[in-house]
Amino acid sequence: MVSLPAFEHTPIDKIAGIYGKVQKSYLSHKTRGLEFRLAQLRKLYWGLKDNQEAIQEACKLDLGKPSYETYITETGWCMNDIIFTCNNLAKWMKDESAPDIPLMNKALSPRIRKDPLGVVLVIGAYNFPIQLSLGPVIGAIAAGNTVVLKPSENSPNAAAVMKMILEKYVDSSCYTVINGAVPETTALLEQKWDKIFYTGNGTVGTIIAKKAAETLTPVTLELGGRNPAIITKNADPRLAARRLVWAKILNAGQVCVSQNYILIDREILPQFLEELKKTFKEFFPAGAKASPDYGRIVNNRQWTRLKKMLDDSKGKILIGGNMDEADRFLEPTVVQVDSLDDSLLADESFGPLIPILPVSNLDEAIKIANSVHDTPLGIYPFGNKKETDQVLNQTRSGGASVNDGFFHASLPTLAFGGVGTSGSGAYRGRSSFDCFTHRRSVTTTPAWIERMLAIRYPPYKGKLGQYKKMQDLKPNFDRMGRSTGGWLSWLISLGAQSKGGALIRYLLVALIAVSYKRWQAQAKI
């Protein structure tokens, strides 16, 4: 067994000094160059690679995480993220020419620089302790910032391993870990950051946002939600069962983006329940407790919370229900509930509880989903295309997987984030770079343009007419908001929204062109 470093709280009286060091490094400009960023990311890659066993052991101790899950969602995930980022970094860092600038302003070379934000604080959560901490850190390093990482104290072994890796492998004057809980985080929030990236629950998210607002510090908040899965009568019950069970057993359901409850058309409920039973038998032939592929609840506090949620439910347990506090084991548990007020719907479980509420039709399901949480982190419609489109068109959510549990959030390069109360901002892949980058608009005014610029200098007398002639755009709409573009713009925009319309437009243009040619030919005769 690999020996792990001990989790130690960073002394609170050292926090201001550590911040000062990291800030000084930022102001030395050493993190700005491409080569420096690449070298640090590459070193971090080797830090992860060399310490795979320690990470595996830490996640096992913290969450009972199966080593397969630790590899695909933590170590391997972050290593791939680093390689992907390194492969694209030079391209992402390049200035972009500003889009949609009128020709007359092009002389100023309008462009977007990609500047680092500065000194950033990343606060991680316990459930994917490595990925949710190092994922944002990778983006922050790539974007040229210096970083302080505060991992979750609720996964103490993973936190200690990350501290050891960062200290040993990367420039610790630029990137450092502060370990601790509320007092340490509170001390960190006293410093002036250029960005705070927080992952965790909404209550603490509010504390962070309020504190950040005092100094106008921008925040990205990655929060939770009461995410619905909606199964219509036209869905495939087998696929729905397998995919939604997967989304609730990974990490023992401690996944922010997994479905919190299932709304299902009554008509298909019996087949779905049958398929759920078959799926559990297939995934865990000797039961979840005996399986090496099923994790544990992070600590006794969370285990007790989940048990209470289940005890308070008025629903009927259909599958599972076994628990063992000593082992922090909670069997994946399917409960049929009959009310929106049920404890299993009222809160986010963030555990392996699977409440099912039967409904009469899709309209009812959508209405319920919007009333339970109008801006969840994810939404999972199962059904035919028309039905799943209806769900997407009539709801909001951070992301969505159609005919699956949270698979959209399993794509490491797809932007990930919430909306409304499930969070703001996004990261992963290119978005991680953007998340920690300031898009700085820049122009350069050439000397030769000075004569044309005379219009901006006083005295202003007599210049307004000239200005209007040069700058004012003509409206192509009337007072009723109708387009007044004339036949040419009608022709150009005909069917612009659809492929069919575009085809008609092309045919019309072709017809006009052919007729014109014919007329020309006849005119010659």
What amino acid positions are annotated as catalytic residues? 222, 256
225 exposed, middle or buried (CB, 10 Å; 0-12, 13-18, 19+)?
buried
Q: Which stretch binds ligand NAD (CB under 6 A): 22-30, 45-53, 179-187, 269-277?
A: 179-187
Tell me the closest approach of the beta carbon of residue 159 to ligand NAD, in angstroms: 9
* C-beta neighbour count of 520 within 10 angstroms: 9
CA 158, CA 148: separation in Å to the nearest integer?
Answer: 16
Which two tokens mark 308? 């209470």
What is the contact mask toward ligand NAD in residues 253 to 292, using x (rule: CB under 6 A)?
A: ---x------------------------------------
Tell me the closest approach of the beta carbon of residue 214 to ligand NAD, in angstroms: 14
- The distance of Cα 201 from the centroid of its chain, to the nearest Å, equals 15
Block residue for tokens 């925009």: 493
Q: Which stretch binds ligand NAD (CB under 6 A): 63-71, 94-102, 124-132, 283-291?
A: 124-132
Question: Using an 8 Å Cβ cutoff, are 249 and 215 in contact?
Answer: no
According to the binding rule CB under 6 A, does residue 228 interact with ligand NAD?
A: no
Among 185, 259, 336, 388, binds ligand NAD (CB under 6 A): 185
Q: Looking at residue 472, what DSSP letter applies? A: P
Comparison of 129 and 383: residue with beta carbon closer to ligand NAD: 129
Comparison of 126 and 329: residue with beta carbon closer to ligand NAD: 126
Number of residues that bind ligand NAD (CB under 6 A): 28
Q: Which stretch binds ligand NAD (CB under 6 A): 17-25, 86-94, 126-134, 479-487?
A: 126-134
Tell me the closest approach of the beta carbon of residue 504 to ligand NAD, in angstroms: 45
**Host H or E run for residue 358:** strand 353-359
According to the binding rule CB under 6 A, does residue 12 interact with ligand NAD?
A: no
CA neighbor of 221 nearest in space, from 188, 189, 198: 198
According to the binding rule CB under 6 A, does residue 430 interact with ligand NAD?
A: no
Helix axes 131-142, 156-169, angle to 10 degrees: 30
Comparison of 64 and 237: residue with beta carbon closer to ligand NAD: 64
Q: Is 248 in a helix, a strand, or coil?
A: helix
According to the binding rule CB under 6 A, does residue 213 interact with ligand NAD?
A: no
Tell me the closest approach of the beta carbon of residue 257 to ligand NAD, in angstroms: 7
- Render 251-297 in DSSP notation, one character per residue: GGG--TTS-SEEEEEGGGHHHHHHHHHHHHHHH-TT-TTT-TT----
Tell me the closest approach of the beta carbon of residue 487 to ligand NAD, in angstroms: 51
Comparison of 217 and 232: residue with beta carbon closer to ligand NAD: 217
Among 66, 228, 423, 425, binds ligand NAD (CB under 6 A): 423
According to the binding rule CB under 6 A, does residue 201 interact with ligand NAD?
A: yes
Tell me the closest approach of the beta carbon of residue 76 to ligand NAD, in angstroms: 18
Question: Using an 8 Å Cβ cutoff, are 383 and 234 in contact?
Answer: yes
Question: Using an 8 Å Cβ cutoff, are 41 and 142 in contact?
Answer: yes
According to the binding rule CB under 6 A, does residue 204 interact with ligand NAD?
A: yes
Write the single-letter amino acid at 473.
Answer: L
Report the DSSP pairing between strands 219-222 and 423-424.
antiparallel
CA neighbor of 343 nearest in space, from 260, 230, 258: 260
According to the binding rule CB under 6 A, does residue 294 interact with ligand NAD?
A: no
According to the binding rule CB under 6 A, does residue 112 interact with ligand NAD?
A: no
According to the binding rule CB under 6 A, does residue 464 interact with ligand NAD?
A: no
According to the binding rule CB under 6 A, does residue 199 interact with ligand NAD?
A: yes
According to the binding rule CB under 6 A, does residue 124 interact with ligand NAD?
A: yes
What is the contact mask toward ligand NAD in residues 360 to 399, using x (rule: CB under 6 A)?
A: -----------------x----------------------
* C-beta neighbour count of 368 within 10 angstroms: 17
Tell me the closest approach of the beta carbon of residue 169 to ligand NAD, in angstroms: 22
Binders of ligand NAD in range 139-158 (CB under 6 A): 150, 152-154
- Render 422-435 in DSSP notation, one character per residue: GEE--BSTHHHHHH
Give the Å distances, CA to CA, from 54 to 21, 125, 286, 305.
28, 19, 29, 29
Straight-line distance from the first to the last Cα atom of the chain, in angstroms, rounded to the nearest whole number: 96
According to the binding rule CB under 6 A, does residue 429 interact with ligand NAD?
A: no
Residue nearest to ligand NAD (CB): 224
Q: Residue 54: which residues within 8 A CB-CB, separation 6 or more?
A: 2, 4, 161, 164
- Chain residues in the site for ligand NAD (CB under 6 A): 123-127, 132, 150, 152-154, 181-182, 185-186, 199-201, 204, 207, 222-224, 256, 348, 350, 377, 418, 423
